[in-house]
Structure formats: C-alpha cells, structure tokens
Amino acid sequence: MIDPAYRKKMVVVEGSYAVAHSAKVCRPNVISAYPITPQTHIVEHLSQFMADGEIPNCEYVNVEAEFSAISALIGASAVGARTYSATTSQGLLLMHEALFNTSGMRLPVVMTVANRAVSAPINIWNDHQDAIAQRDTGWMQLYVEDVQEACDTLPQLYKIAEDNEIMVPGMVCMDGFILSHVYEPVVLLEQDLTDNFLPPFQPEDILDPEDPKTFGAFASPDTYEEFRYLHEQAMQKALPKIEATAKEFEEVYGRYHGGLIDGYMLDDAEIVVMAMGSILGTVKDVVDKYRAKGEKIGVLKVRSFRPFPKEQICKAVKNAHAVVVLDKNISIGTNEGALFTETKSCLYNSKVRVPVIGYTIGHGGRDIPVESIAKVIEETKKVAKSGITIESQFMDLKEELL
C-alpha cells in the first residue's frame, strides 16, 4: 500500500522528463550533450529548462558531437563546475577515449546513459553493450531498475563522485526506451531536499590563475603506475560510499533502491537470479509466482557494476544451491555476458562454492517474456540438483534465422 500522502506527490511523467528534472535540481553549472536516440528527450527537456531560465548559473554547450560533449565537460569540471551529460550507444562509444581521460584526471563528471545496442547492425533499442564496453574506463557505473531510481541515483552519484576522497566520474545506466520513454508514476526530486542532500561541488584542485596548477601531465614509467593504483584505491573507497549514500538518501527522501546490490526474497533463496536494470521487474514478477508455490527463488539486483561489489555478491549467494546470471550484453569471444564472467571470477577466490550459469539475453531490444525467465529458473533448478551441463548460452535464439 502506498501512503496516501506519498501518493499525492506522485506524477505520471515520461522517464526522460523525470531524469532531466533530476539533473536540473542537482544544480549543474555546465551541461553539454549531443542528441541520440533514446537519450534525446533528456537533453530536449534540459534545453527547455534552460530556455525557460529554470537552471540558474548554468551554461548549456550545444556541441557538434559527443566527443566534444565529454571534452567540454572535462574542461568545465577542471575549472570547478558541476557538469552533466547524457548519451547512449554510438555516442558513448565516440566518447571512449575521453572517458579514460576524464577519470584519469579524476574529474567527477556525471552522466546518464540511456543504454542501447551498438552497431552494426544498427539498432536503436535497449541492451547494455554500450556501457559494458566502457567498463574499464575508470568510471563508476550504477544500473537502475526503474524511472524513480534513475532520478534518485543522480544526486547520489554526484555526492559519491565529488567526494574529495573519491573524485571519480560516474554513469547512471538506465535502459533506453524501457525507462527513458515510459510514462510511470514518480516523485520528482524536490529542490529543497536535494539542496540539503547534495552540497555544492568544492574540489580541492581547479584551474585558477590565482593558484596555477597543471592538469593532465605527462607521466613516465617511473610514475604512471601509481596513478592507476590511486585510481583503483578511489574506486575501492567508493564501495562503502555508495552504500552509505543510498542510506542517507533514504533518510532524506524516504526511498531506497539498494546500495551496491539489493536482494529480493533473497535471504532463504535456493535459486538466485542475478541481473542489472529494468529486467529485474519482470524477474521479480516471475519469482513472486514461484514463491506463491512455495519455491525458494530469490533475486539479486546488481546496482553497482563499477566498482564491482565482490564481497557483497559472494555473501549474497553463499547459501544458494545455484545461481543464474542474466546479461544484456556479451563479450564476444567468451560466449558470456560481463556480469556472469565477473561473478564467477569473484566467487572462485572465495570460500563460496555454488554453481553459476549465465544467459545472454535481450540483445537489441529483444523482448524477454516471463515464460523465458521461468525457463531459465527451471534450468537453474536442474543445475542445483545435478550440476552444470551448459555454462552459458543465448536465450531464445531463433533457429530459423541462423
């Protein structure tokens, strides 16, 4: 039951509008973005806010390409501005080189990624291949389940990224179309609550003629490795900060979407389904049906893919009889999705011994019906009983097209 007072605050708006509103109340100083489906509506709404004078002390840089969008934010962030962008797919790929550069210079740029498949063949619908391809760029990646979480994660991520102990950029990854174009009831972030929750950006080092500093220097083999180490250390510091910030957010706004991970019917689960993003809603529906029949199925939502919560994942699955990982991406050449690979990797060096299988699903916006999720659960039940026969596979391939 939703509290009637809370229900009163809810509005039905498009996901993109809600996200743009969130970005606005985070009080960015510089926004720079380039349109690409299905991110477009986010930047259009932000442009309208700008045109209506609703974002004070903010410049919108209408760039000629995504590569310049992220580059402009590198410059802006180095001057001490809070910065925002949104992109997806080819746009995100075009940013690739500069993504490393942003994080290497430890500039806490925050961006929404409306996840979409990558070309070729060209396809505008959702999967996670674009963001997964950026997993080693040194950015944080938080995957969200619904529109409300896409909104609520933005101020959280700014707070984490801008922590002087961390100073690492981050992406809020939301499923393109499924979340960006859906109309669902949400509570739009309140300006006053957000101002309380998210302090102004106050970096220790900025480009300032009063106190000249050098950004983006040249490092030889003598010094380069330590930069990488410190970057990794910062990501490790982000792990508890992500948890703490989610809880702090809950205290202020009354909503919690999980910290690094989140469980659903997980405590006594014998079979665990792991996934990231909006698919979790469907999975939970299917699990509800199993629970109604008395079967102990649970869901493990992975919210933070970078930093990767190894310990939390090991702990969450330690009592399971079998785990299945659903990945909306594939690392071609391994026949596996990235979450699957990394889950196995962290279990191997732990004391947790549980069989894990993987499905790579929903490529290019392919629908994932409840029946398929149920089939996956049935397969995993077999694994729990008699061991792994097939480790990883594509879901619902159309044999007639092959």
Partner 1 sequence: MSKTAPKTYITSGHSGCAGCCDAFAAKFTLMGAGPNTIVINPTGCLEVMSTPFPYSSWQVPWIHSLFENAGAVASGVEAALKALGKKDDVKVVSIGGDGSTMDIGLGALSGAFERGHDFTYVCMDNEAYMNTGVQRSSGTPFDASTTTTPAGKVSFGNPRPKKNMPAIMAAHGSPYVATTSIGFPRDMIRKVKKATEIVGPTYIHAQAPCPTGWGFDTSKTLEIAKLAVETCLWPMYEMENGEITQVRKVKNPRPVEEYLRAQKRFKHLFTMEGGEEEIKKIQAIADWNIKHFELQ
Q: How far is the CB of 309 from partner 1 (least distance, A)?
A: 31
174 binds partner 1 (CB under 8 A): no
77 binds partner 1 (CB under 8 A): yes
167 binds partner 1 (CB under 8 A): no
- 185 or 216: whose CB is closer to partner 1? 216
For residue 368, what are its two tokens?
Answer: 């994932």
For residue 67, what are its two tokens?
Answer: 């590569």
The one segment of 24-32, 151-159, 266-274, 326-334 that binds partner 1 by CB under 8 A: 24-32
Contacts of 227 (CB under 8 A, 6+ apart): 104, 219
For residue 247, what are its two tokens?
Answer: 């809880």
Instruction: Say if residues 100 and 137 touch (Cβ distance below 8 Å).
Output: yes
Instruction: Say if residues 106 and 148 touch (Cβ distance below 8 Å).
Output: no
Cα dihedral 202, 207, 209, 210 sign: positive
244-303 binders of partner 1 (CB under 8 A): none
Instruction: Say if residues 37 and 46 touch (Cβ distance below 8 Å).
Output: no
Q: DSSP for 318-384?
A: TT-SEEEEEES--BTTTTB-HHHHHHHHHHHTSS----EEEEE--GGG----HHHHHHHHHHHHHHH
214 binds partner 1 (CB under 8 A): yes
CA gap 357, 259 in Å, rounded:
24
Cα dihedral 169, 58, 85, 239 sign: positive
- 212 or 294: whose CB is closer to partner 1? 212
CA gap 77, 60 in Å, rounded:
14
Give strand ranges (E) for 90-136: 110-115
395 binds partner 1 (CB under 8 A): no
Q: Which of 159, 169, 84, 93 is nearest to 129 (CA)?
A: 93
Per-residue binder mask for partner 1 (CB under 8 A), 100-139, x = binder? -x---x----------------------------------
The one segment of 66-74, 278-286, 316-324, 348-356 that binds partner 1 by CB under 8 A: 66-74
- 74 or 324: whose CB is closer to partner 1? 74
Contacts of 235 (CB under 8 A, 6+ apart): 138, 140, 168, 306, 307
Cα atoms in the 13 Å half-sphere on the side-chain side of 216: 13
- 74 or 150: whose CB is closer to partner 1? 74
- 78 or 174: whose CB is closer to partner 1? 78
Q: How far is the CB of 116 from partner 1 (least distance, A)?
A: 23
76 binds partner 1 (CB under 8 A): yes
193 binds partner 1 (CB under 8 A): no
61 binds partner 1 (CB under 8 A): yes
Instruction: Say if residues 184 and 15 touch (Cβ distance below 8 Å).
Output: yes
47 binds partner 1 (CB under 8 A): no
Q: Name the β-bridge partners of 394.
A: 360
94 binds partner 1 (CB under 8 A): no
Q: How far is the CB of 82 from partner 1 (least distance, A)?
A: 9
68 binds partner 1 (CB under 8 A): yes
- 214 or 386: whose CB is closer to partner 1? 214
339 binds partner 1 (CB under 8 A): no
Number of residues that bind partner 1 (CB under 8 A): 44
Neighbours of 271 (CB within 10 A): 24
* Residue from the set 48, 51, 54, 97 that interacts with partner 1 by CB under 8 A: 97
Q: How far is the CB of 28 from partner 1 (least distance, A)?
A: 9
The one segment of 60-68, 185-193, 272-280, 334-342 that binds partner 1 by CB under 8 A: 60-68
Instruction: Say if residues 71 and 98 touch (Cβ distance below 8 Å).
Output: yes
Burial group, residue 93, by CB count within 10 angstroms (0-12, 13-18, 19+): middle
71 binds partner 1 (CB under 8 A): yes
* Residue from the set 4, 12, 53, 64 that interacts with partner 1 by CB under 8 A: 64
Q: How far is the CB of 141 from partner 1 (least distance, A)?
A: 22
Q: How far is the CB of 233 from partner 1 (least distance, A)?
A: 18
For residue 354, what are its two tokens?
Answer: 């549980």
- 51 or 65: whose CB is closer to partner 1? 65
Q: Which residues bind partner 1 (CB under 8 A)?
A: 29-30, 32, 57-59, 61-65, 67-69, 71-81, 83, 97-98, 101, 105, 206-209, 212-220, 223
